Structure formats: structure tokens, C-alpha cells
Amino acid sequence: MVASPEVLKEGQELPQLHAQLVVFAREVGELYSAERQRSRELEAALDGIQEMYVQTMKAFAQVVEAKDACTRGHLDRTQRYGMAIARKVDPELAARPEVAYGFFLHDIGKVGVPEQVLRKSGPLDSREWDVMRTHPMMGAQIIEPIRFLGEAVEIVRSHHEWFDGTGYPKGIAGEQIPLAARIFSIADSFDAMTSDRPYRSALPMEFAIAEIRAGAGTQFDPMAVAAFLEVVDEDGITVDDRDGGPVLASARAV
């Protein structure tokens, strides 16, 4: 039986179509591989830019810290305290890089506070306190344009808010205060009390722990206080061999 011209034509075209599909598939695969490579290169470039931003912000924060010998080591210690508490309260929150960034950068706004206020050897007067209280908003304004820092902005802005609404800069209360900021306010206060300051010597750690316990529901979130006390009970507090300051034992490796 002789094949019709139509069938013969279709039979001849099938190998050509198959060959074209093979070429097309290969080209698509090569294009996909090239796009994946470009995507990896862009991701690497973005990671490099993000790291550059973070390191720049950390350098600014360390410049502020270096102005006052009494606060040296404060940024590292409070970050470690905050992370230890955060892991008790919400491990998923603690795993977010921007939270650790916010803890370290919390005082970056002090770059705009005059040195004579930062280093004053006695208590601040009312006008000086007004100046000092600008640093959370100033810090938030500095890092807010860096979008990947995310929640770090609210930690910087809100770490001096009180649970009862009497803090600053906005006077927000309870769960209006971001959880990470509520956690960090304990770390910040603990280190402030247990460190030498121009106007007083470091307070005993037992006193600082008692003050934090007493502040549950007023200055501090009771849930975060409970987590702090749990960390203290489980791990205790030792002297950090890196800077000689007190440190929660579970925070030493942070």
C-alpha cells in the first residue's frame, strides 16, 4: 500500500519537529541556567550590600559607645542578654537577624546627643533629659530607610517605652509595644544597673534582678520578666572574660 502524499509529508515533518523541540528545550535549559546564575550573583551582591549597611550602622553605634568609657561593652552585652531572653519568649523571633541587629543598634540615635550630655558626671537636669530622650526617634530615623532591617527600627524606637504607658518617646503601652522592644528593655535596664555610670558605681546584680522583678507590669512586660528570671535561675550570671562585665551564662556564646 502506497502512503498518501499527506501522510508522507507528515512523516517527513515529525523528525524535523522533534529536532526543533530538542533545540528549543536545550536553549530554554541554557537560559534557565544563565538566569539562575545571574540570580545567585544578584543575591550575593545584595547580601554584600546588606552586610555593608549593617557594618556601617554598627560602626556608628560603636562611635557613640566609645565616647563614654562607662558604656563600653554595653552594646555587646545587651545584645547577648536580649537574645537569651528572646529565645525563652519566642524562639522564632530570636532567629530573625533583624532582631539581633536592633538589639545592637538600639542606641545609635545617641550619635546626635551632645557629648557633654552623654558624659555628664552627675544626674541630668530636665533640659538635658529632654535632649537624651530624643535618641530613640533619632535612631529610628537613621536606620528606617534600610528596609531589610525591618523590626530593628521598632526596637530602636520603642526600647524605652514602659509597659504601663509612661515611657517614651510615644507613651504606648502593653502589646502596642513591639515584643522585641519589650524584651530588650529588660536587657538594657539590667546592664544599665550593673554597669558603672558617670554618676554612680555599678549596682549589685541581686539588686538589679530584684528591680526587674518588681517592675513587672509597670516598666516591664510580665511575660518577658518571667523569661528573664527563668534564664537567671537556670544559668546564673557570671563575669564575662571578654570585657569583665556581668553576663547571663547562656548569653556567653551569642
What pLDDT is recorded for position 122?
81
Q: How confident is the model at residue 238 (pLDDT cuts 50, 70, 90)?
A: low
Q: What CA–CA distances, in Å, run from 21 to 8, 11, 30, 57, 229?
A: 20, 16, 14, 53, 67
pTM for the full predicted model:
0.74
Query: Over the stretch 70-94, which tens digit does the pLDDT of each residue have?
Result: 566 888 889 999 999 999 999 999 9
In 174-220, where does DSSP find H-type helix?
A: 179-193, 205-214
Instruction: Tell me the C-alpha distance between 111 and 132, whole Å.
Output: 11
What pLDDT is recorded for position 243?
46
Catalogue all structural domains in the chain, each as residue range(s) with its CATH number.
Answer: 41-251 (1.10.3210.10)
Is 2 a residue whose pLDDT tops 60? no
Q: What CA–CA distances, in Å, run from 166 to 31, 143, 169, 210?
A: 59, 25, 9, 21
Higher pLDDT: 121 or 215? It is 215
Whether 238 contacts 252, CB under 8 Å: yes
Whether 231 contacts 85, CB under 8 Å: yes
Higher pLDDT: 201 or 164? It is 164
Q: What CA–CA distances, in Å, run from 94 to 7, 34, 104, 179, 245?
A: 69, 36, 13, 11, 23
Top-ranked range on mean pLDDT: pick from 140-154, 205-219, 236-250: 205-219
What pLDDT is recorded for position 157?
97
What pLDDT is recorded for position 12?
55
Query: Over the stretch 101-137, which tens digit does the pLDDT of each residue have?
Result: 999 999 988 888 888 888 888 888 999 999 999 999 9
What pLDDT is recorded for position 236?
65
Q: Which of 63, 72, 154 is nearest to 112 (CA)?
A: 63
Is 174 a residue whose pLDDT tops 70? yes
Q: How confident is the model at residue 64 (pLDDT cuts 50, 70, 90)?
A: low
Instruction: Tell me the C-alpha distance between 180 and 154, whole Å.
Output: 8
Residues forming beta bridges with residue 220, ordered by sequence position: 216
Higher pLDDT: 165 or 250? It is 165
Instruction: Return mean pLDDT, the chain.
Output: 81
User: What residue type is assigned to position 246 of the chain?
Assistant: P
- Grid coordinates in use for 35? 538566569
Query: Over the stretch 3-39, which tens digit does the pLDDT of each residue have?
Result: 455 544 555 566 676 667 666 667 766 676 776 776 6
Instruction: Tell me the C-alpha distance between 7 and 209, whole Å.
Output: 91
- Grid coordinates in use for 128? 538635658
